[in-house]
Amino acid sequence: MHLEGKPTLHVVDAGTGFQAARFLRDLSAKETWEKLKECWLDTYLGPPDIVSHDAGTNFDSAEFRAEAKLAGITINQIPVEAHWSIGKVERYHAPLRRAYEIIRAETKRSDVSEAACLQMAVKAVNDTSGPDGLVPTLLVFGAYPRITRDSPPTASQQQRAAAAAKAMTELRKARAARDVSNALNTRNGPDTEPTLPKTLPLGSEVLVYREKEKWDGPFKVLAVDDTEVTVELDHGPASFRSTAVKPYNRDPNGVKPTAAPSSQGTASQTGGPEETPEGGAEDTIVCKQGTAPQEEKETFEYPERQKKRPRGRPRRNPTTYAQEANADHLIESFVTHKEKADYELALSLRREGRITTPGRPFEASDAAEIDSLFGSGVLLAIHRDAVEGGAQFFGSRMVREVKGRPTQPYEKSRLVVCGFNDHEKAAILTQAPTVQRASQRLVLALTPSLRRRGKEVMVRDISQAYTQSVTPLNRTVYLRLPPELKEKYPQGTVLKVEKPLYGLAEAGLHWYATYSKHHREKLAMETSSFDPCLLITCQGEECFGITAMQTDDTFNVGTRAFLEREEAELRAAGFKAKPQTILTNGESCDFNGTLIQLEEGGLTCAQKGQAERLLLVDVEAFDRKQQYVMQRARGAYIASICQPEAAFDYSVAAQICDPDDEDIARLNKRIQWQLSNKLRGLRYQAMDLEAAKLFIFVDGSFANNKDLTSQIGYVIALGNEAPVGDRARAGLVDANHDSAFALTGNIIHWSSTKCKRVTRSVLA
């Protein structure tokens, strides 16, 4: 509600009618939550079980819902145009506003703040009996408030309990009487069970009732439950009561107007120029069909609703396809510094004679890439005139790179879709899973022990993984030719994408479905219960294997039979891939940003070149805040790979929004440590798997952050508990301590996380 033009948070208890209110500085979710805590959660019993609110954006935000979830509160949002369903709050707005206006008028001459007047108004309403003669203060505290010196003394605890019990008994009687009265006064309405809401198919069209525009639509149905229907409005999905929704059936022979009529009074028109009398509109709108006279044959029908352009940068001036096709300079903005450097490197290597491919730089690799995509059925060249109207066109570009620089350099090209302006990706599943860091380290922790038992380590790299997906796209995608290929095709040629291609949002998910299905069906592997990219065989010891999937790379540990079967099934499936890389002692590989090197009796993992880009933050620089964010992200990435010692410092640094000199000095200290220990990583050693245990070490710090929140950290290790005797004699452990033990094993996972809740005691 608003008081004197200021937004006001009004809270009412559903059972007793007890109220609280606070002025809001703004309508943000953070301000609303803080005021709710101030006036209710931190003042009275604590967080309630359920909070019902209207459809305000501050309540419906992810931040407000996240805070409520942490407090154990269930959020119940009232549907659109159903504010009467939260009637207790709506009815209590008027008494509170009237009390505030009276108090404000009487205290206008005195220096009384608006917040104090609001609190006095809330107190007055809580101390006043309602329509049923029940006082909210009596229901909550079990006693009447003392007003003057002559008021009765405050009741004892027993008297307050008895009074509260009597008041609650009367409240139950009043509520039961009201429910019975409402039931007796309810008229029998039409049977809407066959029509609403469960019979509404998803994707069907409906009209919704709005208080200003009356019946509006039609809109698409997104979800249906017992009492609510979720539809797709112009600004996004919204929920309506089933009583405010009715289906809209289109006539396949109906006439579609070129422009929609005014929203007022159009919903009652069912065809022809005649208007239906008021109240005569049916629940279902059906257009008249063919047997009517000629003057009534042209029936009114709502046009197809066009989705509005989403918010963002202003639309460019309309340009034709031919103009865009000639604007090659637009593609220049997508060329990165690395691509320019690779092009100059290709020229240099050609002058030196190390690259002898005929033609201009990358000309042969571009042709090979396009021929491969046409041959595998990924692309189809068509003329623009054959494209249906309204189709969205994406740009495309050739990403060029020089590979194999140390030994035998060669040019490589890849066609990539410029999908940055893809509005349809919001409606499709685009997040493809990749192996978790914990899963990767678990495989590395088991590798030395498995190698001792005769298992081997193999790394597999799939070539052009996305284009080898077997599942077709679920939508139609057209590409404009990249500037490098326009001269080789007739004018007006466009590319139709039949299968997943690099740059499309859903391409990674298609490849994961293809490669994961191949491992599960052809190699008889099953996924882990916590990571779909961690697979293990289930057919005995002879063909044992573990696989960690990272998009087009896999890290495998298994028997020789498993590796041979993997090679045979890969060839049978027709996947293009590089040969298997079997690792032995002294050899290394790069997997998921980690440099893994095998050694005698174990292996080590370290960062792969990320530390070379790590720099200290210049305190005197004008862009020191940007440097702080950049170097913090680089250091945290290294810490997440192989340096758990730095996890705490970077987790604390991530909480700093506006760093001062002290924050920068603390971050530079950790960065300097990483610069001095670039080769520091994790070493994994063999262990006795039959006696291995999982050890979890938890940090016991309390309120160690600036805002008095606690930083909670833990380390998980898989290892063996060794006898204490020999290590105690060496002074490594304290033999006099009852709980002393020696642990030898491998670190699997670690984390340092901020606990957002501020607790006032350790026991909390």
Predicted confidence (pLDDT) per residue in 570-581, tens digit:
999 999 999 999
**Residue in 659, 653, 648, 651 with CA at minimum distance from that of residue 626:** 659
100: DSSP letter: H
Q: Cα separation of 136 and 159, whole Å?
A: 17
pLDDT in tens, 438-465: 999 999 999 999 999 999 999 999 988 8
Considering only 191-200, 680-689, 751-760, which range has the smallest mean pLDDT?
191-200
Contact of 264 with 222, CB cutoff 8 Å: no
pLDDT value of position 608 = 85
Contact of 749 with 441, CB cutoff 8 Å: yes
Which residue did the predictor score with more confidence, 129 or 454?
Answer: 454
CB atoms within 10 A of CB 201: 8
Burial of 217 (0-12, 13-18, 19+ CB in 10 A): buried
pLDDT band at 726; cut points 50, 70, 90: low
Given a cut of 90, whether residue 314 has pLDDT beyond it is no
Contacts of 171-175 with CB under 8 Å at 24 or more apart are 171/15, 171/16, 171/132, 171/134, 171/139, 174/132, 174/134
The domain spans of the chain are: 2-181, 205-297, 321-427, 607-683, 687-755
Contact of 251 with 289, CB cutoff 8 Å: yes
- Read off the pLDDT of each residue in 683-699 and give the average, rounded to a whole number: 91
60: DSSP letter: H
Q: Which amino acid is at 360?
A: R
What are the phi and psi torsion angles at 103 (to 5°)? -65, -40
Q: Which amino acid is at 232?
A: E
CB atoms within 10 A of CB 68: 20
pLDDT value of position 288 = 42
Going from the C-alpha of 164 to that of each of 46, 319, 471, 716, the distances in angstroms are 20, 74, 67, 53
Distance of CA 182 to the CA centre of its chain: 44
- Read off the pLDDT of each residue in 623-650 and give the average, rounded to a whole number: 92
Given a cut of 50, whether residue 384 has pLDDT beyond it is yes
Which residue did the predictor score with more confidence, 194 or 470?
Answer: 470
483: which residues sit within 8 A by CB, 6+ positions away? Answer: 328, 331, 397
8: which residues sit within 8 A by CB, 6+ positions away? Answer: 1, 2, 21, 22, 23, 24, 118
Q: Cα separation of 417 and 436, whole Å?
A: 27
- Read off the pLDDT of each residue in 236-264 and give the average, rounded to a whole number: 64
Considering only 2-6, 134-138, 449-453, which range has the smallest mean pLDDT?
134-138
Q: Cα separation of 246 and 265, whole Å?
A: 16
Burial of 182 (0-12, 13-18, 19+ CB in 10 A): exposed
Given a cut of 50, whether residue 757 has pLDDT beyond it is yes
β-pair partners for 20: 11
Given a cut of 80, whether residue 430 has pLDDT beyond it is no
454: DSSP letter: T
Query: DSSP E strands: which ranges in 197-235?
Result: 205-210, 214-224, 228-233
Angle, to 10 degrees, between the axis of helix 114-126 and the axis of helix 87-106?
Answer: 120
- Read off the pLDDT of each residue in 672-699 and give the average, rounded to a whole number: 91
Q: Cα separation of 573 and 559, whole Å?
A: 21
Helix (H) or strand (E) holding 264: none
pLDDT band at 554; cut points 50, 70, 90: very high
Q: Cα separation of 515 and 552, whole Å?
A: 9
Q: Cα separation of 505 and 398, whole Å?
A: 18
Is the preceding peptide bond at 197 cis, omega within 30 degrees of 0? yes
pLDDT band at 343; cut points 50, 70, 90: confident
Q: What superfamily does domain 2-181 belong to in CATH?
A: Ribonuclease H-like superfamily/Ribonuclease H (3.30.420.10)
Which residue did the predictor score with more confidence, 196 or 501?
Answer: 501
**Residue in 65, 1, 58, 62 with CA at minimum distance from that of residue 31:** 58
Which residue did the predictor score with more confidence, 45 or 426?
Answer: 45
Contact of 67 with 758, CB cutoff 8 Å: no
- Read off the pLDDT of each residue in 93-116 and give the average, rounded to a whole number: 84
Angle, to 10 degrees, between the axis of helix 29-36 and the axis of helix 62-70?
Answer: 30
**Vertex 426, ends 424 and 428: CA angle to 5°?**
80
pLDDT in tens, 485-510: 788 888 888 888 888 888 888 888 88
The percent of the chain in helix, strand and coil, each rounded to the nearest 5, is 35, 25, 40
Distance of CA 316 to the CA centre of its chain: 30
156: which residues sit within 8 A by CB, 6+ positions away? Answer: none
**Per the structure block, which two tokens stand in for 182?**
């409402």
Q: Cα separation of 707 and 702, whole Å?
A: 12
**Vertex 380, ends 374 and 386: CA angle to 5°?**
165
pLDDT value of position 284 = 41
DSSP letter for each residue of 402-434 = EE--SSS-EEEEEEEEEGGG-GGGGGS------
pLDDT in tens, 142-183: 777 766 666 666 666 666 677 777 777 877 887 788 788 877
pLDDT band at 325; cut points 50, 70, 90: very low
Q: Cα separation of 44 and 46, whole Å?
A: 6
pLDDT value of position 282 = 40
